Amino acid sequence: MCTGIIHYIIFDVNKAIEWSHQILEVGGVFYMDDFVGPSRFQWSDDALELGTRVRNILPDRYLKNPHDPNKLLNRTIERLDPEKLKRDDPSEAADSSNILKSVIRFFPNAEITLTGGIIYHSTLNDVLHNIDETDLKDKAILDLLLIIDDLATKNGIESQYATALAVKTSSSATANKEVD
């Protein structure tokens, strides 16, 4: 089983992961590569601060607004209004903060890898179009920003993305314990 849209179309991720577990035979593989950050993109204060600090050190040329090149993107990373997001797109990250808890609940031996996102998803949103990966200076800056993203994840600032790989075993076939 392969998933990649849990965060987007699922309002109750616990039921979706439970269903995935139920339909797999023993020996079946569950794989997920998905957004697992805060529901409705309600970034932590640490994530907002880090993203804002990074945007504040970027030269203006990286902050050209893709929708209006005569304007610059905001240097401050802010939380989206969850009610507006819910009205505009009810399924977007509706229950994403519970994805990893549910994976662990139904696949307790899952190999989970946190893959970051504070920088590459939140901070560089609408910035990447201004980075020319064929330019050595731009590539070096992007590489450094991705290192910052990795370090933030390794140091406990929220990871917005993760992968999970699990094989359904006979012992996990009856998994039903709650995970906080």
Residue range 72-114, pLDDT digits in tens: 999 999 999 999 999 998 888 889 999 999 999 999 999 999 9
Q: Where are the domains of the chain?
A: 1-43+82-116+159-180, 44-78+118-158
Residue range 115-165, pLDDT digits in tens: 999 999 999 999 999 999 899 999 999 999 999 999 999 999 999 999 999
Q: Which residues contact 14 (CB under 8 A, 6 or more apart)?
A: 95, 98, 101, 102, 105
Q: What pairs with residue 15 in β-bridges? A: none
Residue range 132-145, pLDDT digits in tens: 989 999 999 999 99
pLDDT at 25 over 50: yes
Write out the H or E segment, with its range, that includes residue 157. Answer: none
Q: Which of 3-12, 49-58, 70-79 has the lowest mean pLDDT?
A: 3-12
pLDDT at 70 over 70: yes
**pLDDT for 4:** 61
Write out the H or E segment, with its range, that includes residue 64. Answer: strand 64-65
CATH assignment, 1-43+82-116+159-180 = 3.30.110
The 3-class secondary structure across 125-150, one letter per residue, is: CCCHHHCCCCCHHHHHHHHHHHHHHH
Q: What is the pTM of this model?
A: 0.86
